[in-house]
Chain A
Amino acid sequence: MRSTDARSITALAPRLASREVTSSDVTETCLARIAEGNGRLNAFITVLADEARAAAKRADAEIAAGRYRGPLHGVPISLKDLIDLAGAPTTAASRVLAGRMAAADAAVTARLRDAGAVFLGKCNLHEFAFGTTSEDSAFGPVRNPVDPARSAGGSSGGSAAAVVAEMGFASVGTDTGGSIRIPAAVCGCVGLKPGYGELPCDGIVPLSRSLDHVGPIARSAADAWLLYRVMAGDPNPPPLSDRAESGSPLRLGVLKPYFMDVLEAGVHAAFAAELDRLAAAGVSFAERSVRHASHTATVYLHLQLPEASAYHAPMLEAHPELYTVPVRQRLELGRYVLAEDYVRARRGADVLRGEVDAALDGVDALVLPTVPITAQPIGSASLTVSGQTLPVRALMLRLTQLFDITGHPAISLPCGASDGLPVGLQLVGRRGGTRQLLAAAATIEAVGSPAARVTM
């Protein structure tokens, strides 16, 4: 989707500022889309219709009084339901947290609220963000807007489904192994995982504290930039500056070989076609590798499992029956990881971080597919790809989890389709270079393929 997309925040904000449209009107339109489509997609756990209408009315009054706060003022958005919103339930899609109301806003919620954003509700997810399909949820599976028989990806599946189905202009998700980028890729929108530690995770139910990131799911890189900057503490950010101003053509490092070894043929074709389009537009490429990339899943498991288990241990002891079975099993598994292996994995993370840093030498960003497969039918457990039969969970995480380990900023952009199902292209930037990454993403959006369109 282009930044000039009429459904984008970038297009909406000046119209709200000039009072050509009102927040009340666009909020009502989003609520109507939710009422119409949520029964089919299950994207929202909680819809805050009355609160959203009241917030929109306040935004309209403030703008009319000349107190325009910035580009998110009056813009209706949603939050993944493990991010606290004061006075609303935070369920993490689990029966374990049934009845829990947030007493205060999460840090990012407070910043979005201060910027004037209107909260439509809380989005469905994989229970406790511990999965990649958004199927294991106490509230039922999220369904993909492009094909409701298929998974929306996860764990921020409800957020991506809501954005693509126009149930709001953007959403906020979390990403521990790929949980923003994976659903963005398989639903057909933009998902940004900023660099580690750039945005505060206070007030967000953790999965694995050394890997957790929070970030936006949106319709364009320019929109993702606005949410990213607001959540970083700038309530009135400038538009994303055009990378073309730098005067030099974009140069990308194509990650091989591990990253291209297991790919569905249709994903490979869409990715290759996108690189051809970019080359024709003047983008240049160089091959890059990460020597220990094949250790990615091994390192990830020994970090993520015990960190998740440490947080959940009291709840696992008190109410194991309240978890979905697959999530409970993985949480119990983490209790068997030895401390010495956690330390070995920490060392491995340092090694991988240095190797990704080195791979970025001489290029503006690294490029690879976001997910090796397209959205799978709900209930799929494993899949044979490139001659290997692997769990869907492992396939979904294969190309994203490395950058949670290393903390590099990464973004997924729509990259055409395979058999009508969206494919994602992933860009990875330098640590501390999220702005430059977003500028590169905007350049690619300007010449790349559009996202899958959804007709509800």
Chain B
Amino acid sequence: MAGETKLNRGAKEPVERWLSAAVADAERRGLADLKPLLEGLAQATIALRRADWNDGVPAGSPAADLGGNTGGGR
């Protein structure tokens, strides 16, 4: 996908955690039929977070080895 950089490839795990919580919440609310829609939204969210316009971890900071976006590439 255009604009994806190695700096934002860490998007997947947080979204998977969000998805698990969202599916559980939907089931609790009697909306189990939302699961496939939430899974589709999760894929879109991963793509959104990987876009190169996003801010990330400033270079040289303690979390820099996590692969943050320094805010470039806009």
Contact = CB atoms under 8 A, between A and B. Distances in A.
B33 A329 contact: yes
Given A332-B34, A333-B41, A295 B51 contact: yes
Q: Which secondary structure dominates where chain B touches chain A?
A: helix
Contacts of B37: 329-330, 333
Contact of B2 (A292, A302, A305, A344): A292
B42 to A, nearest CB: 9
Candidate in B1, B2, B22, B47 with the most chain A CB atoms within 10 angstroms: B2
A302 B48 contact: yes
Given A329-B34, A333-B34, A341-B49, A294 B1 contact: yes
A294 B1 CA distance: 7
The 9 A-B pairs of least Cβ separation, nearest first, read A336-B22, A298-B44, A298-B48, A298-B47, A351-B53, A333-B37, A294-B1, A292-B3, A347-B53
Contacts, number: 67
B7 to A, nearest CB: 14
Given A338-B18, A344-B54, A302 B45 contact: yes
14 contacts: A291-B2, A291-B3, A292-B53, A293-B2, A295-B1, A301-B41, A305-B41, A333-B34, A336-B22, A338-B45, A344-B48, A347-B54, A350-B53, A351-B74
Given A295-B47, A329-B37, A347-B54, 9 more contacts: A291-B2, A294-B1, A295-B2, A329-B33, A336-B18, A336-B38, A336-B41, A347-B53, A350-B53
Nearest to B23: A336
Interface in B10-52: 18, 22, 25-26, 31, 33-34, 37-38, 41, 44-45, 47-49, 51
Interface string A284-310: 000000011111011101100100000
Interface in A253-309: 291-295, 297-299, 301-302, 305
Interface residues of A, number: 25
A343 to B, nearest CB: 9
A350 to B, nearest CB: 8
B28 to A, nearest CB: 13
B60 to A, nearest CB: 23
Contacts of A336: 18, 22, 25-26, 38, 41
Interface in A304-351: 305, 329-330, 332-333, 336-338, 341, 344-345, 347-348, 350-351
A433 B38 CA distance: 39
Most chain A CB within 10 A, of B2, B31, B48, is at: B48
B33 A297 contact: no
Contacts of B34: 329, 332-333
A118 to B, nearest CB: 43
Contacts of B3: 291-292, 295
A328 to B, nearest CB: 9
Nearest to B30: A320
Contacts of A333: 34, 37-38, 41
A164 B24 CA distance: 47
A305 B22 CA distance: 15
Contacts of B2: 291-295
